[in-house]
Structure 1
Amino acid sequence: MAALIYSLCALTSLAAAGLLWRAWAGSRAPLLFWSALCFLMLAANNVLLVLDKVVWPVEVDLRTARLGTALAAVVVLLVGLVWEDD
């Protein structure tokens, strides 16, 4: 059941990134770009979670990589929010 939930979270993040990217392509609003990039990194984080907890539960520890991608995603969104403040 956990594998299904982790996979659905990854697909949801990827879908959100795709929708934000499509909206950015139409309007060129900078905040949409930063949000799409953040959700793309969050999707990568969720894929790493699936790999860590389902595919290689004992052999490999991807905790550092997961935390790094989550931190990078939040930093990207924070930079976008601060940089685009008018």
Structure 2
Amino acid sequence: MGVLRAEFDASALTLSRLNATRLIVRFADGTLIDTELADILPPVRDVSDVMQDSVEVLLALPLLSASGGNLDDGRECPPAPLARRAGDRPRAGRP
């Protein structure tokens, strides 16, 4: 558990930018993040407002959808159901 590997672009640091080039992290819940195999690197972060000899970096998993459906298995998903689609005629008693 923890950071297994973290690599950063040293030339970006000279420009006050934190740019991860590879991350392998195992979170406490067992989730494995490996940006070389499948996962997306975090965006480059401007650290000019916090530049010191060292900077603490925190990693977290994004909550994309609390109800699930965050896995992209390559299949096309149908759109979420709508109360009424554009062009539908209203039914009696409904606007």
Q: TM-score range by the shorter chain?
A: under 0.3
Larger CA Rg, structure 1 vs 2: 2
TM-score (norm 2): 0.24
TM-score (norm 1): 0.25
| Larger helix percent | 1
Q: Which structure has the higher relative contact order (CA within 8 Å, separation 6+)? A: 1
